[in-house]
């Protein structure tokens, strides 16, 4: 039997959903309480995602929110999942995350994506006259690496704060581009299987086969996004997951809204093609009661060899969201204990 559960960690990616009956301030406080709960459960890291011009997501000022979460916790790593690098000058990112690293040493991660994280009109507003090319992202990543490394003699451009903080850089992606770049640079890689699982196995195989060890990361390191809805029973979990299904349908149809409360028998009301599209979007999801969650997590880890499961849990009721994380943590503990007993 493989020993994968012994080395696989649990982490969380928070989109900081604004609920239908809530405010942005509510969403930010729910994020902090969720991070504190994840820390108590022993999660490795808590990441926030950069999105813009979306009514239901409150994490656009990602670095500011990372500071808020890090300031309200004490041990868990906090970072971006990710900062959309084409929207920012590398120096600004280095200074922001360098500041965070000085405030919260050893606890900050910098996950980088190359998508805009928004619609074309907002992208133009963020970038002004900048025209993105295929070479820009690798060059910007290399510049960030230099700016966060110790300054060299004669170096003219120095991030202050930032230089010498060596904030860990992760590359994020849902295709082969970032997988190959992460392998070439010896960086950890997070695959966005929580919304685009189609190329998951191909990307991970490419990343591992091309990986060039670096001083900080002597072996490839993979996190995968996992939509997670857990409840005491499969039926209740499916009911709670209808909030996620409504959100996904809105993304697919261009009708983005705030996070909506669960609806009984939501999927039964959909057209077959709508159900199929949601199913494809959530192909990596783990939804169910404790046994279903444990088995689903085991299958994902066994199939991918992931070092971390990065959970995304869009449960409408904040208290039931925390309960969902409790069930996931217990399932993971059972997997780990079972693997240890087998190994012994």
Instruction: Give 242-253 pLDDT, tens digit per residue.
Output: 999 999 999 999
* pLDDT confidence of residue 55: 85
113-122, 273-282, 292-301: segment of lowest average pLDDT:
113-122
The CATH number of whichever domain residue 16 belongs to comes to 3.20.20.30
**The two three-digit tokens of residue 10, written as one number:** 């649990």
Confidence class for position 121, pLDDT limits 50, 70, 90: low
The Cα–Cα gap between 43 and 23 comes to: 27
Check whether 258 has a pLDDT greater than 50: yes
88-102, 130-144, 154-168, 302-316: segment of lowest average pLDDT:
130-144
* pLDDT confidence of residue 1: 29
* pLDDT confidence of residue 336: 87
Closest CA to 270 of 281, 258, 284, 259: 281
* pLDDT confidence of residue 127: 56
* pLDDT confidence of residue 130: 60
Confidence class for position 115, pLDDT limits 50, 70, 90: confident
CA dihedral 91, 93, 97, 102 (to 10 degrees): 20
Strands 222-230 and 108-113, by their bridges, are unpaired
Check whether 3 has a pLDDT greater than 90: no
Check whether 84 has a pLDDT greater than 50: yes
The Cα–Cα gap between 167 and 98 comes to: 7
* Mean pLDDT, residues 290-304 taken together: 97
HSE toward the beta carbon, residue 141, CA cutoff 13 A: 22
Confidence class for position 140, pLDDT limits 50, 70, 90: very high
Matching residue, tokens 């992202």: 137
The domain in which residue 279 lies consists of 4-343
User: Which burial class, exposed, middle or buried, applies to 30 when counting CB atoms under 10 A from its CB (0-12, 13-18, 19+)?
Assistant: buried
Check whether 131 has a pLDDT greater than 90: no
Q: Give every CB contact of residue 46 below 8 A, 6+ residues apart in sequence.
A: 11, 12, 14, 34, 35, 38, 39, 69, 73, 76, 77, 78, 79
User: Which burial class, exposed, middle or buried, applies to 203 when counting CB atoms under 10 A from its CB (0-12, 13-18, 19+)?
Assistant: buried
**The two three-digit tokens of residue 227, written as one number:** 């939509």
To the nearest whole number, what is the mean pLDDT of the chain?
92
* pLDDT confidence of residue 6: 46
Confidence class for position 228, pLDDT limits 50, 70, 90: very high
3-12, 35-44, 120-129, 279-288: segment of lowest average pLDDT:
120-129
* pLDDT confidence of residue 344: 42
Structural domains of the chain, count: 1
* pLDDT confidence of residue 342: 54
Check whether 172 has a pLDDT greater than 90: yes
Closest CA to 315 of 327, 307, 332: 327
Residue pair 110/100 in contact by the 8 Å Cβ criterion:
no
pLDDT > 70: percent of the chain: 91
* Mean pLDDT, residues 195-201 taken together: 94
Look up the pTM and report it.
0.92
The Cα–Cα gap between 58 and 27 comes to: 7
Higher pLDDT, 249 or 4: 249
Distance of CA 20 to the CA centre of its chain: 23
* Mean pLDDT, residues 94-116 taken together: 95
* pLDDT confidence of residue 5: 37
pLDDT in tens, 64-76: 999 999 999 999 9
* Mean pLDDT, residues 10-32 taken together: 97
CA 236 vs CA 138, 276, 318, 330, 334: distances in Å? 45, 21, 15, 18, 22
Q: What is the Cα Rg of the chain in Å?
A: 20
* pLDDT confidence of residue 116: 61
Check whether 4 has a pLDDT greater than 70: no
Distance of CA 143 to the CA centre of its chain: 23
Peptide bond into 82 cis (omega under 30): yes
Region of 283 on the Ramachandran plot (φ > 0 left; ψ -120 to 50 alpha; else beta): alpha
pLDDT > 90: percent of the chain: 85
Check whether 2 has a pLDDT greater than 90: no
């Amino acid at each position: 039997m493989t020993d994968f559960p012994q080395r696989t960690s649990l982490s969380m990616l928070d989109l900081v959903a604004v609920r239908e009956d809530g405010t942005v301030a509510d969403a930010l406080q729910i994020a902090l309480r969720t991070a504190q709960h994840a820390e108590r459960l022993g999660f490795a890291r808590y990441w926030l995602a950069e999105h813009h011009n979306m009514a239901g997501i409150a994490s656009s000022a990602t670095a500011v929110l990372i500071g808020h979460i890090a300031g309200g916790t004490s041990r868990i790593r906090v970072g971006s999942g990710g900062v959309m690098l084409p929207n920012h000058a590398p120096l600004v990112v280095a200074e922001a995350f360098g500041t965070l690293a000085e405030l919260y040493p050893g606890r900050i991660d910098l996950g980088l994506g190359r998508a805009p994280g928004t619609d074309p009109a907002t992208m133009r507003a963020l970038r002004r006259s900048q025209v993105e090319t295929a070479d820009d992202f690798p060059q910007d990543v290399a510049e960030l690496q230099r700016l966060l490394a110790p300054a060299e003699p004669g170096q003219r451009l120095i991030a202050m704060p930032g230089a010498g903080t060596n904030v860990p850089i992760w590359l994020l992606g849902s295709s082969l581009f970032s997988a190959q770049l992460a392998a070439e640079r010896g960086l950890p890689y997070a695959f966005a299987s929580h919304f685009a699982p189609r190329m998951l196995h191909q990307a991970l195989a490419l990343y591992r086969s091309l990986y060039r060890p670096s001083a900080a990361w002597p072996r490839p390191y993979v996190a995968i996004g996992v939509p997670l809805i857990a409840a005491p029973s499969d039926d209740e979990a499916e009911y709670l997951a209808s909030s996620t299904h409504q959100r996904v349908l809105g993304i697919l149809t261009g009708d983005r809204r705030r996070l909506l409360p669960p609806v009984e028998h939501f999927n039964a009301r959909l057209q077959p093609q709508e159900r199929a599209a949601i199913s494809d979007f959530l192909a990596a999801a783990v939804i169910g009661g404790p046994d279903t969650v444990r088995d689903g997590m085991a299958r994902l880890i066994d199939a991918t060899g992931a070092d971390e499961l990065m959970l995304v849990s869009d449960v409408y009721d904040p208290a039931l969201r925390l309960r969902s994380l409790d069930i996931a943590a217990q399932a993971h503990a059972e997997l780990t204990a079972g693997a240890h007993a087998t190994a012994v």
